[in-house]
């Protein structure tokens, strides 16, 4: 697999700057990096992968490593998807998140608490339930980056002929529906 530079140079530059600033901090604190991610709107920062997202990213066709902050990464992480040939491991180290997984045609909700890993095998459709009030930070590892497609979203899903048949897709759509205050219609 060819390692390529990220084509979004403005975000790559921002990520490089915030990682550089965190490394320049007296204690090189991960908390500084996470705070800078939130301040600049960088919802996720790759540390390694098949694409070089910043000047500090290691190219790898074997493993992708990224830091994700919630709720900032919530909209993207809430969209259902699966990795056909990749294992994905979430290690939530600050706060917690709720992962919905499609298993045997049912939605299984798993709360991923701090310092408890969650391993998603290849093909398991999943999504992080979006919560604007629940801050969390996770290290996410993905394997087998050579396989294409890397991720399959609802529009290209082969599990259901109609998206609306999928309970995970329905959960996502319900969550994305605008809420009316005080039960008004």
pLDDT by residue (tens digit) across 99-149?
A: 999 999 899 999 999 988 999 999 999 999 988 888 999 999 999 998 889
> What is the pLDDT at residue 78?
94
Residue 184 domain flag = no
Residue 183 domain flag = no
Instruction: Give the residue-averaged pLDDT of 30-41.
Output: 96
Q: Which residues pair with 92 in a beta bridge?
A: 116, 138
Counting residues of the chain whose pLDDT is more than 70, the rounded percentage is 96
Instruction: Give the residue-averaged pLDDT of 60-71.
Output: 95
Give me the CATH number covering residue 162: 2.60.120.10
Residue 181 domain flag = no
User: Could you give the 3-state DSSP secondary structure of residue 147?
Assistant: coil
The CA distances from residue 7 to 11, 51, 60, 67, 183, in Å, are 9, 9, 17, 19, 44
Is residue 1 scored above 80 in pLDDT?
A: no
Q: Which residues pair with 103 in a beta bridge?
A: 106
> What is the pLDDT at residue 159?
86
Residue 161 domain flag = yes
d(C-alpha 97, C-alpha 107), whole Å: 16
Residue located via tokens 């990464």: 73
> What is the pLDDT at residue 185?
45
Instruction: Provide the 10 A C-beta neighbour count for residue 179.
Output: 6
Q: The whole model's pTM is what?
A: 0.90
> What is the pLDDT at residue 158?
84
Q: Which domain holds residue 29?
A: 4-176
d(C-alpha 38, C-alpha 24), whole Å: 18
* Closest to 45 measured CA to CA, from 75, 73, 83, 9: 73
């Amino acid at each position: 697999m060819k390692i390529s530079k990220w084509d979004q140079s403005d975000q790559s530059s921002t990520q490089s700057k915030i990682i550089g600033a965190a490394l320049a901090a007296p204690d090189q604190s991960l908390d500084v990096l996470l705070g800078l991610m939130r301040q600049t709107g960088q919802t996720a920062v790759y540390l390694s992968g098949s694409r070089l997202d910043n000047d500090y990213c290691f190219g790898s066709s074997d493993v992708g490593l990224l830091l994700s902050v919630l709720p900032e990464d919530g909209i993207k992480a809430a969209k259902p998807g699966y990795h056909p040939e990749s294992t994905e491991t979430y290690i939530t180290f600050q706060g917690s998140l709720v992962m919905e997984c499609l298993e045997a045609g049912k939605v299984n909700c798993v709360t991923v608490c701090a310092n408890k890993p969650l391993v998603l095998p290849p093909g398991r459709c999943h999504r992080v339930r979006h919560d604007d009030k629940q801050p969390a930070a996770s290290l996410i590892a993905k394997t087998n980056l050579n396989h294409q497609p890397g991720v399959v979203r609802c529009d290209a899903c082969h599990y259901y002929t109609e998206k609306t048949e999928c309970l995970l897709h329905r959960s996502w759509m319900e969550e994305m529906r605008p809420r009316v205050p005080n039960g008004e219609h």
